[in-house]
Structure 1
Amino acid sequence: MRIVVAHNRYREAQPSGENTIVDVEMAQLTAAGVEVLPFIRSSDEIPTMPKSAKALLPISPIWAPRAQEELSRLISEHRPDVLHLHNPYPLISPWIVRTAHRHGVPVVQTVHNYRQVCSSGLYFRDGMICQDCRGRALGVPAIVHRCYRGSRAQSALMATTLAVHRGTWRSVDRFIALTSAVADHLRDYGIPAERIVVKPNGIPDPGAPAPLGDGFLYMARLSPEKGLALLLDAWRRHPDGALGPLRIAGDGELRPLAEAAAAERADVTYLGSLDRAGVRAAIEASTVIIAASTWHDVLPTVIIEALSSGRPVLGTALGGIPYLLGADAPREPAGTGPAAVATAAPGEGRVALPHGVQEGEAGWVVAPEPAAMAAALSVARAGAARLAPAARARYERTFHPDVVTRQLIDVYASVSATAPPR
């Protein structure tokens, strides 16, 4: 089987889990005997482009002529079975779907964000969830609020691109939704359920988990939607040292918030940015990993890393996080504090939980509110050892490379078998 993998890499100066996942997935496919033809562009190319190429950048999200020409040559030379698209912006363009179809090649796309509808891709604006552009022919709110790169002009271009390519997206042969929440987003966009497959990302197996460490680890891009402020508000509701240590890893605009918390309390440590060895050491030193996102986070890779290491996760009940942890969202909104108690979902070993907190297979999901998060921190500290084996088991069953690579190859085979003759 011969597959073109198309992806516009994000700038290397801005660490991207999506770049990492694409690289890992290509390696896993190659190891499984699939011939991978990378069709990769990078936003890092833009500063070194000749003036003639830069002049075309404003239209490239709509139609990138150079990318279409190069893809046509690649298809004509190698005759691939499927084109697998990840991120098309800005140098590839969704037009690549039309180009592949013109050559009789079916298209699969992995949906990493909400950019079929939302210009920023996040459904998040001004510190809160925003879905103002849902259902609109043109995302005027995105233009008004400068949602794409803080520029009204660039936001207008992206909103126009999404409007122009609505039909393009709906012609994709198969969508890979990383979680059930993304599948819901695609159905809401008008994609038939039979053209959507839920298949999460996977990461390489790090091996048998090390013994549990102590305390909590928060590891994310330090930006508002990742919930650092929510976590610190909840953490301060406990006496210093009551929960063990909290380690914060990552960098971004909220770095001063992390540094201030570390200076304020003896039980908070700011680790800064970590390399791969540092990430592994930080996970092994901890007992519970926290994913405190306040947006509909699609698939935080840190959660899969935690599960692979046998660490349960405390996450907010938003986006794909409940799916990753094998938990439904809480049935009722959080109460006013730890005193409000409800019975958890039935299951062996389950206990009564604070209102707004629910136990899943591999961790806990909680309403994105400080009081509920504060209560959940105590629950997670007490229950981590009990859920650690289940966390590793969920990784092996759902996110192991052998599992997800076989699922992906099955998707390719399905669309290739039903494609019309060339």
Structure 2
Amino acid sequence: MHIVILAEFAVPSGGAEKVALESARGLAEAGHAVTYIQAVTGEADPLLEHPRLTRIDLGLADAWSRPAVAAALSGIWSSEAAHRLAGALAALPHRPDCIHLHQWTRSLSPSIFPVLFGTGVPVLLTLHDYFLACPNGVAYRFDTGEPCGLRPMSAACLVAPCDSRSRLHKMVRVARTAALRQAIGQSALHVVHVCDASRARMGGMLGRYALTHHRVDNPVRVAERGPAAPGEGDAIVYVGRLTREKGADLVAEAARAAGLPALFIGTGPLSDALRQRPGIELLGWQSPEAVQSILRRRARALAAPSRWYETGPLTVYEALAAGIPVVASDRSGAAEKVRDGETGFVVPPRAAELTEAFGALADSARAAAMGRAAHAAYWAEPMTLQAHARDLSRLYEQIVHNRSCAMQHSGVPDRTDSRIEVSDPLPAKL
């Protein structure tokens, strides 16, 4: 098969791009022809160096690097992104069997969806976030510090001051969501969920679209090295951006109450406040290899107490693979991989419950036993790159087969050309 992977970056600037890159590499290693299209011009990860993998750079600018007004307008609808993508797809020497999109909010905008649907091949979108329904993308109210229970784009949603930046940013994101709704309309779109919780939550938000839902685990690129020794670990470890919505402050408070040091890998708005607390060690951002080394040497447990509905934070899976217990928020999709009381704890993102879990792990024998159980459970069904590529291959084949059968049944001939129809520069209505 010929698969087009579309993402905004060709380096792992975030979880979505990391999965896109690894998917592309895994599919190429599985024997598929892969075209990786990056929207934002820049360097490429060595993962994309493979004989069956071709990379195309659309040469677009990251919206975050543009002046505010230009960034807002292009974020709502970028004719430039649509035309460049259409040209790249039309120039492919072989028509793809399907196109898989991983991110579109930083440079591509809703304008690309009519282009993708115009190819006549199946289009898939992995839901790494909630932007398909929610204007701020995380289904979280930054004004109240709690997950959002409002219906996306309802009157209550439109007036809620929920954005992490300002009301003006919220207005721009509302306009973008309105453009997205029109761009997708009732076109057939396959959405890929990375956890069961995302599928359950998003299902009720996306009723207006003609979607087919699928479930595929993210890949986790860690080698099997035997279990770590968390019973000898000296700290509760947190890996990620240091923000309130991800629960970094909860880790500091609960670890101190449990009598354990807390070690933070990452940076963010809470860095200075955390640095002032006793028993806290901040290491800043580290390479993936360094993170793995630190976890194996220092971690008694990994803490991931998100207040928002995270989909599938990779650090949770990486810790389990290393044989390190995980204390995860019951709001996190990754918690489905944690066996409560056996390979870690699944608790509400509150200091009292976290303190109790950390206190239990202060028992070295219990931490060691949980670590061994975590390692055994993970490697019984590992989320390897090969498993991810296998599951994606089966999904693509099923989608292409079902589409072919449906077209034969309806008497509509399959398209064999690669001409792309480009949408109008602006949507008719917002």
Q: TM-score range by the shorter chain?
A: 0.7 to 0.9
The SS at the match of 1:175 is: strand
- Decide whether the 8 Å contact of 1:284 with 1:309 is kept in 2: yes
Report the equivalent of 1:332.
Answer: none
Report the equivalent of 2:370.
Answer: 387
- Decide whether the 8 Å contact of 2:227 with 2:372 is kept in 1: no
Higher relative contact order (CA 8 A, sep 6+): 2
Aligned partners of 2:220 and 2:4: how far apart in 1?
A: 21
2:69 is the alignment partner of 1:69: no
Report the equivalent of 1:276.
Answer: 288
CA shift in 2, pair 1:109/1:204, >3 Å: same
Report the equivalent of 2:57.
Answer: none
What amino acid maps onto 2:311 in structure 1?
V
Question: 6, 21, 24: which one pairs with 1:23?
Answer: 21
- Decide whether the 8 Å contact of 1:202 with 1:404 is kept in 2: yes
Structure 2, unaligned stretches of length 5 or more? 43-59, 408-413, 416-430
CA shift in 2, pair 1:30/1:292, >3 Å: same
Sequence identity of aligned pairs in percent?
23
Question: 297, 305, 314: which one pairs with 2:327?
Answer: 314
Residues 289-316 of structure 1, C-alpha deviations (whole Å, 9 max, x = no match): 1112111111111111112212121111
The SS at the match of 1:226 is: coil
Aligned ranges 1:9-408 → 2 under 5 Å: 9=9, 15-42=13-40, 46=61, 57-76=71-90, 77=92, 78-124=94-140, 125-126=142-143, 128-131=145-148, 133-137=150-154, 140-141=157-158, 145=161, 147=163, 150-166=165-181, 168=184, 171-191=187-207, 195-209=212-226, 211-212=228-229, 213-215=232-234, 216-239=236-259, 243=260, 245-261=261-277, 264-265=278-279, 268-285=280-297, 286-325=299-338, 327=339, 358-359=340-341, 362-382=343-363, 383-396=366-379, 397-408=381-392
What amino acid maps onto 2:85 in structure 1?
L
Aligned partners of 1:47 and 1:109: how far apart in 2?
A: 20
CA shift in 2, pair 1:359/1:95, >3 Å: farther
* 1:133 CA drift (Å): 4.3
Residues 226-283 of structure 1, C-alpha deviations (whole Å, 9 max, x = no match): 11111222122234xxx4x43221111111133122xx23xx4222221233212211
CA shift in 2, pair 1:230/1:283, >3 Å: same
The SS at the match of 2:125 is: strand
The normalised TM-score by structure 1 is 0.80
Aligned partners of 1:197 and 1:49: how far apart in 2?
A: 31
The normalised TM-score by structure 2 is 0.79
Aligned partners of 1:156 and 1:50: how far apart in 2?
A: 20
- Decide whether the 8 Å contact of 1:123 with 1:129 is kept in 2: no
CA shift in 2, pair 1:26/1:116, >3 Å: same
Q: What is the root-mean-square deviation in Å for CA atoms of aligned residues?
A: 3.0
- Decide whether the 8 Å contact of 2:222 with 2:321 is kept in 1: yes
What amino acid maps onto 1:73 in structure 2?
G
Moved over 4 A (4+): 47-51, 53-57, 137-140, 191-194
Aligned partners of 1:270 and 1:323: how far apart in 2?
A: 28
